[in-house]
Copies of this chain bind each other. A is one copy, B any other.
Amino acid sequence: MVKVQHNLIAPRRIRLGMVGGGPGAFVGNIHRHAARLDDQYELVAGALSSDADRNRAFGLSLHIDEDRLYADYRDMAWREAARVDGIDAVAIVVPNHLHFPVACAFLEAGIHVICDKPLTTSVADGLRLRDLAKRMGCLVLLTHNYSGYPMVRAARDLVASGALGEIRSIQVEYAQEWLAEPIEARGNRQAQWRTDPAQAGPAGCLADIGSHAAHLAEYVTGLSPTEVSAELCSFVAGRRLDDHVQLRLRYPKGARGLLWASQVAIGESNNLTLRVFGSNASIRWEQASHHTLRYVRLGQAAQHLSQGMPGVSAGANAAFRLPPGHPEGYIEAFAQLYREFALALRAHRAAKTALPDHLPGIEAGIRSLCLIDAALASDCAGAEWTEVPDPLKLPV
């Protein structure tokens, strides 16, 4: 009799666990905010710190029950898998070299994975994860979070619509300043693991932020580079990994790219900027003014597209939480991935659907690793043009 327009029953919140993200960690904190914002998750288990006391204390402060705070992530995976109310998914926010073993443990237990980028530290490990996830029927979200910004969605949809014509050139840069001095030698923990090959893998700046720039370019244009000519530099004395990289990229059908990433660029706190030039039009997006997409058609006035305007796709508009002119930000973009992953998990539960295209996953992660590998090889060979392998053609 009652004509209710709204669901009587809210969908159950996704039960989430977290590995890593102890006190002071940047990324873990972001993931928690992102999970919380739209109320689609509840954080109920964790192996937050390798220090048992810190793990317990910090976990309790997050309202996690004591018996679901685990000293060991493998233990967590098995025991949670065994619970009736066990976690549906785990967020992996540990240093890069641990992404692979931790992801394996949870996938083997049949638990879906949200993994910070890079997926792993080698292409081979990435392929193994792909295989494992497929075998276990699990979804993996890779938090290339810039793809959660509404106007990045608008850019992607605009390019896909053909509005730019044939893509000619892709210019992307990601510049930071926080490693301009050798702070890893002065006790900065975030800097320590990121500049340590044993924890970060063979690439420094390239993997840490260059991979974000590469993913953003790929996400918006739908193009993956086929060749790279790379130069990796390390400007700070004693630094063991690159802190500044300059890549030239070649794409199918003749498009060219330039990717510049630096962590020693004083004056650039966190500047991620993408420009795509086509034969008919261009777009420009900057994280610092992420609400706007500059769009210029040949011979026309520059348009500053934003929420709700003609030219902005329905998908982009749906990714806004607030009315036009009300600033959103990094947390909201990150939360967008979490929100959409919650929908993906529910759809998967109901019908075994795959991760939707607009969410970055294992494939994107492997492509990124292939590019990093090829760039390292090119740099060693004196900037030689080096092929970027296609992960679909890689042996499993």
Binding site for B on A (CB under 8 A): 2-10, 13, 23, 26, 29-30, 32-33, 36-37, 39, 53-54, 56-58, 60-63, 168-169, 171, 176-178, 180-181, 229, 231, 233, 235, 244, 246, 248, 254, 256, 258, 260, 262, 264-271, 275, 277-282, 284, 287-290, 294-306, 308-311, 321-332, 382-385
Contact = CB atoms under 8 A, between A and B. Distances in A.
Contacts of A290: 327
Copy number in the complex reads 4
B310 A57 contact: no
Given A248-B383, A288-B327, A330-B328, A10 B168 contact: no
Interface centre among A10, A62, A266, A269 (most CB of B within 10 A): A266
A269 B306 contact: yes
Contact of A383 (B267, B309, B385): B385
20 contacts: A2-B53, A4-B57, A6-B54, A6-B58, A7-B61, A8-B56, A26-B323, A30-B322, A176-B325, A178-B323, A180-B298, A231-B248, A248-B248, A266-B278, A299-B308, A301-B309, A302-B304, A328-B331, A329-B329, A383-B385
Interface centre among A37, A321, A325 (most CB of B within 10 A): A325
B266 A280 contact: yes
Contacts of A177: 298
B303 A57 contact: no
B295 A281 contact: no
Contact of A267 (B58, B235, B282): B282
